[in-house]
Amino acid sequence: MRKIKPEDFQRDLLQWYDENKRDLPWRRERDPYKIWVSEIMLQQTQVDTVIPYYQRFMSLFPTVKDLAEADEETVLKAWEGLGYYSRARNLHSAVKEVNNTYGGEVPSSEKDVKSLKGVGPYTAGAILSIAFNIPAPAVDGNVMRVTSRLLAIYDDIAKASSRKIFEETAMELIDKDRPSDFNQALMELGALICTPKNPACLICPVNEHCSARKEGVQDLLPVKSKKKPPKKMKMKVLLVKDENDRVLIERRPDTGLLAKLWQFPNIEAETDDLSDLKRLGESLGLTLEFEKENVQEVKHVFSHVVWEMEVYKGFVKSVHNAELYEESALKQFVATEDINYYPFPVSHQKIIDGALAKGEMYK
C-alpha cells in the first residue's frame, strides 16, 4: 500500500461518516438477523427501494424463528416487487438452517456464514463486519468503484477474477478497530460522493488521498466491461374467466425466471393468429374463445430478456378434457379480488392493472 497511508485515510473517512451517515432502519439495529436480511435485500437494489420492504418484512418476521416458521408463499408475497426472487427463497432456506442447526443464532465464523444459502463473499463480509465487528472485506460495487479510484486500479470490475485484488485492497485499508463503521463508510462514500457519474471530488473527505483525483482520471475509473443487451421474447397471454367470473392463474416452475411466482397462462408467440392460444387452451383441457379486438399490449424489461406480451381476453367455450382441467394444483381459477393473496411478478401485475383500468377485474 505505497500510494496511501491507511491510518490517515481511515481517520478522514470515519470522521466524515460519523458526521454524515444516513439514518437507515437497519443502522438502528444490532441484531445480526436484521443486518442479514437488510444485506440480502440490498443486493443489486437501491436503499430507497429497500426501506419499505425491510420495514414490512421486519414487522411480519421480526425474528429468525418467525421467518423460519413462515410459509414460502408468504415470504415470496412479502418479497413481491423487489426482484431477484431466489434471494427470498435462499434467505428463507438459510434462516431455517440457522433455526435448526445453530439454535436460532446467526453464526459468526467466516466458514459458517459463507455456507448459508444466498450468502456470498460480499454478504459474508458484510455480516461479519457490520453485525459482529470482525475485520473482513465487504467488497460490493461501491467499494470496487471507490478503491479503484483511490488507488488507480484499472482491473475490470465486471470480471470475477478482479475480486481477489479488491478484497486484498479492502483488507489493507480496513480499520481494525472499527471494521463495522469502516466498511459502511466506504459504501456510504460510494453512494453519496464517489458516485459512478460526476463524482463530487470537490467535497470528498478523502480527496487528498485519491490517486484518480491527483491524476485527473476519476471519470475513467472504474474500468467496467459492458454486458450484452437482453433478448426479445414475444408472448401471448391468456386472461380467461370461467362462468363464475373467476380468472385462471398458474404457478411458475420451481426454478428459473420468477420461480414459484404466479402468473396468467401464456405461451411464446409462434404465429400471428390465434392458433398458439387455441393450443394453450387445449393443453389446459379447455376450448376457448377470444375477443380479437380488445388486446392489451404489455412490455416488461428484465435484466437479460424483454417480454412483449399480447394479452387476450377470453372465455371458456367448453371443457373438452375434464381431467386436464381439474388435475393440476398449480393452475386454478380464483376470484379476481383473491389475486391479491398470490405473489405476482411486476410483469403480470401490469396486466392486472391494465385489466382493472378497463373494468375487467375488480379488487
Residues that bind DNA (CB under 7 A): 24, 27, 38-39, 42-49, 81-86, 90, 117-124, 126, 140-142, 145, 159-161, 184, 187-188, 190-191, 195-197, 224, 226-229, 256-259, 300-305, 345-347
- Whether 163 and 139 have beta carbons less than 8 Å apart is answered as yes
Q: Which is closer to DNA, CB of 266 or CB of 347?
A: 347
Reduced to 3 states, what is the DSSP secondary structure of residue 263?
strand
End-to-end CA distance of the chain: 61
DSSP state of 296: E
Pick the catalytic residue from 39, 80, 167, 188. 39
Cis peptide before 222 (omega within 30 of 0): yes
Q: Which is closer to DNA, CB of 190 or CB of 281?
A: 190
CB of 161 to DNA, least distance (A): 3
Instruction: Give the integer Cα–Cα distance in Å for 2 and 248.
Output: 65
Q: Please say if 39 is a catalytic residue.
A: yes
Continuous segment of H or E residues that includes residue 317? strand 305-319
- Whether 31 and 105 have beta carbons less than 8 Å apart is answered as no
Continuous segment of H or E residues that includes residue 235? strand 231-241
Pairing of strands 305-319, 231-241: parallel
Q: Which is closer to DNA, CB of 118 or CB of 135?
A: 118
CB of 162 to DNA, least distance (A): 9
CA of 310: how far to CAs of 226, 233, 352, 360, in Å?
31, 11, 13, 16
CB of 123 to DNA, least distance (A): 3
258: left (phi over 0), alpha (psi -120 to 50) or beta: left
- Whether 122 and 170 have beta carbons less than 8 Å apart is answered as no
Q: Which is closer to DNA, CB of 48 or CB of 323?
A: 48
Q: Which is closer to DNA, CB of 135 or CB of 345?
A: 345
Q: Which is closer to DNA, CB of 197 or CB of 363?
A: 197
C-alpha cell at 178: 472499527
Four-point Cα dihedral 177, 178, 183, 184, nearest 10: 180
Continuous segment of H or E residues that includes residue 305? strand 305-319
Active-site residue list: 39
